[in-house]
Structure 1
């Protein structure tokens, strides 16, 4: 295989997983809700902090898969507790979003007082879910096994870079739209967005709780 063919294969893998990353980030999930809320209330940087928190968990999962922990992450005894932990985090964020809907709103022409770390931490909390684990294990399972067989981990690294790039593009695009929208929204409108976002986060929390109960039932039925 010459260099041109090798580069073509690398680009094909990258683009394929770039589109997968973009597609997986498109549906409205808990991370998207929290990013939008923070972006409207405190600006681009704080919305971006939530996205970085989520991507940090994604990167940790990629490294875990790379070092062979995929089978461990797939164990019910590992995934089931994460459902209840994720439900708790989302319930807290949802409650806080509704309770403090009229607080921490920074006008677009002022600098936000909220710390970058606090919104980054929210992103970490929201991203802790078995759904995230299942995605990474399913997306990279075949690539990882193939890299072990061929003793070439390059395809795994390229695929991981592609997915992360797709997620990054989605986050930047979303927050750019939010930043423009924020300039024409009144304080009252932003408050209502925060309340709606809180209700959606509580909804995701209830879904996580439901999955936790279902997983427990299935575990005892085996």
Structure 2
């Protein structure tokens, strides 16, 4: 699976607060993924694919990811819980972060352009095949999340507070890079209509 904003946020939360908090971000993301599958099957894909909807979503997504990246860098040394320490952040707060990243316009555009096309094609041909493909996508996301967070959970035990801080800063930089990519996509989309 491609590394996206949700993966970066899961990694950051997993490093700072442990497996469960990274998993909470993943659960927030998969909740939105499941909701999108249901909405795409109900016809949302054709609406979200409209240029008048999609073009501004790139810019809104860029702003959102820029904010998350900036926040990650500024707060890199805050709320770090080393292995064995009691976590201060709530599980729901991490889940909420996952939901917020997943409903970012950039994630929605990704869903419509990648999974939406695959799901729409299968929905049109055979609804039972659509369900199998949708379950395959969700299973892949679930396996990705569990695998990634297992690696992070094991690696986290060997990391110092300073190392986690720098990895959080790198995560913030990656989120800002994603924001730059979204700005690029926005500019390319606008050029088509100018």
User: What is the TM-score of this pair, normalised by structure 2?
Assistant: 0.92
Aligned Cα root-mean-square deviation (Å) = 1.4
Cross-structure match for 1:194: 168
Could you tell me how far apart the structure 2 residues matched to 1:212 and 1:118 are? Answer: 30
Select the residue among 172, 185, 191 that pairs with 2:146: 172
Matches within 5 A, 1:98-177: 98-127=73-102, 128=104, 129=106, 130-147=109-126, 153-177=127-151
Cα-to-partner distance string for 1:131-171 (whole Å, 9 max, x where unaligned): 22211222212201102xxxxx2221121111101110110
Could you tell me how far apart the structure 1 residues matched to 2:52 and 2:133 are? Answer: 28
Report how many residues are paired: 190
Cα-to-partner distance string for 1:84-137 (whole Å, 9 max, x where unaligned): 221111111111111011110012112211122332232223233212221122
Where structure 2 has 5 or more consecutive residues not aligned to the other structure, the ranges are none
Could you tell me how far apart the structure 1 residues matched to 2:112 and 2:43 are? Answer: 14
User: What is the TM-score of this pair, normalised by structure 1?
Assistant: 0.81
Larger radius of gyration: 1
Where structure 1 has 5 or more consecutive residues not aligned to the other structure, the ranges are 1-24, 148-152
User: Post-superposition shift, 1:78?
Assistant: 1.7
Structure 1 residues 56, 172: closer, same or farther in 2, change over 3 A? same
